[in-house]
Chain A
Amino acid sequence: MMTEFVWRSGFKRLVLAGVTVLALGAGGAGAQILVIQPPIVLTPADTLVSELPPPQPGVSNATPLAADAPMPSADPRDLGGTWIHDQALAFRMQRDMYGVLVPYNMDGAKVLERRVVSLNKGAPYTNASATCRPPGPQWQRDLNMPFQIFQSPDVIEFVFEEYHGRWYVIMDPAKAPPPRQKEYMGYSVGHWSGDTLVVESSGFKQALWMDVDGTPVSANGKLIQRIRKVDNADHAPFLEIETTVVDPTYYTRPWTVVRTFAWQPALTSFSEYNCEEQIGDPTVDADAGLIPEPKD
């Protein structure tokens, strides 16, 4: 958060997210920039998380758009089309969109620790993705596989290739109230704030794994997504989705990550995803060889 901007004789001072930036001189080519990073004080939870083995690196599958590809609607509120996460998959969300450490409390840090340790021992815990269940909105979107968006005034439906998944954003809760049974993808209500679609997701059937390593969100947690379409007239339109995690069970304050999703109409034809053929096999363990996670 920007805290002040002060003019002092000959230099300007800016404090952003605890970092002091001094701009010396009149500006232009003669300006000098000095960045003063105060010592970072780690909480016990920060220390626990920072000492875990590092996550696997993800890879990006970004491909340029064909020159003759159809383009999205010029209407900034029309999100319809086919999109794909074009950044490297984050196996573990270690920092927020501002580069600040994810603000774990000790309960959250311990959950992450046990998940990472069990994974590295070759005995990962059961989770929705591994058992062919809907993995929650964040993981579902983050996977580098395409999805389509279909939009009406009352509901915006996301249809995913991976897990043959669905995510419904209800624009009129009176017409689509919360379901009687909680759902893996939760219940998501959206509204427009200018040209940004703000979606609040809550009421999850079970706790979420936000990523491969199990960054946790409790079943009572909430995700607030801000979705906007960006077109810089560079033949590379994309969606930007900021997700704010609100979960006092595991974190000391809300925190936000950001993802981009490239427009890719050529990926509208999905590959089949049929995890049930293996996971549903009655002759093998229903937990796919994973072990039950201890209850908090």
Chain B
Amino acid sequence: MIKSRPRHVTGAVVAGALLAAGIAISAAAATPDLQGVWKLAAPTKTLKPVSGSVPFTAQGRKQYEENKRLQAKGDYDDYDITLSRCNNAGVPRLMMTPERFKIWQRFGIVTFDFEWNRALRQIDASGQPPREDMLGRALATTMTGTSKGHWEGDTLVAETTNLSDRTLLDDLVPHTQDIKVIEHLRLVDPDTLEDRITIDDSAYFKRPWDAVLTYKRQPAAVFPEDVCLDRVQAHQAAFPSR
């Protein structure tokens, strides 16, 4: 059961509560500080619902079964171009890479800096208008979509839309371009980060469903240069074994 949290508190009250809880606060206006190096506490290739099974619609189930069939045949490029060609794993699957990632916070932008293939994703919690888009890039979907965020107390709430349907939610589960991924990111304690993910895609799932990923803080590190294309070219796994 999720404890209820106060949603509308002043910055000073939040700062005091977080300091009492030993959770770091960045210098700017009591914004919680999620910065550091993190790693999945329990590696997994599957995004597991917090309860029950993935609530597929008939259409979603059909595509999922097709992905399983292609997986069994080894036709990875027909359903999982992250595995076959190191395509950006997208949201939320990047949050399931087995290697480490760093979180940086600057000017209201939260940058996730992944060890796997030097991938990047960002959550814009700045409240500023989007960058000028002379080339109309926002008209097309991308692997990491558009993630807008805001802080609710100690939690970063992010909503990601405009996601390409060329990614998977995990190693098999498909989604459409109309998906909305909502994340609640917070420090459970100073060394534990939680990402509660809500998947909302009515074409493939009967109802929104939640999954939770937990990360443990790691020592500061210089990540080795990871070039996934070199591995795949050498017929090695896109995701190195642990």
Contact = CB atoms under 8 A, between A and B. Distances in A.
A172 B144 CA distance: 34
Interface stretch (B42-50, B84-92, B201-209): B84-92
Nearest to A167: B225
A280 B229 contact: yes
Contact of A269 (B118, B122, B230, B233): B122
Interface string B116-128: 0111101010101
B130 interface: yes
Interface residues of A, number: 45
Nearest to B133: A271
Interface stretch (B9-17, B107-115, B173-181): B107-115
Contacts of A50: none
A193 interface: no
A270 B106 contact: no
B225 A280 contact: no
A185 B229 contact: no
A133 B106 contact: no
B222 to A, nearest CB: 4
B85 A133 contact: no
A272 interface: yes
B50 to A, nearest CB: 29
Among A70, A131, A270, A279, the most chain B Cβ lie within 10 Å of the Cβ of A270
Interface string A156-181: 01010001111010100000100101
Given A170-B222, A184-B227, A282 B118 contact: no
Contacts of A274: 87-88, 142-143
Contact of B106 (A82, A176, A277, A282): A82
Interface stretch (A51-59, A116-124, A146-154): A146-154
B207 to A, nearest CB: 29
A177 to B, nearest CB: 10
Interface in B83-104: 84-88, 104
A221 interface: no
* Chain A interface main SS type: loop
B131 A266 contact: yes
Contacts of A70: 107
B228 A271 contact: no
B191 interface: no
Contacts of B109: 268-269
B211 interface: no
A282 B119 contact: no
B220 interface: yes
A276 interface: yes
A148 B128 contact: no
B111 A159 contact: yes
A157 B124 CA distance: 21
B131 to A, nearest CB: 6
Given A133-B229, A280-B229, 15 more contacts: A82-B106, A131-B229, A159-B120, A166-B118, A269-B130, A269-B131, A274-B87, A276-B86, A276-B228, A276-B229, A279-B85, A279-B229, A280-B84, A280-B232, A283-B77
Interface of B: 77, 81, 84-88, 104, 106-107, 109, 111, 113, 117-120, 122, 124, 126, 128, 130-131, 137, 142-144, 166, 220, 222-225, 227-230, 232-233
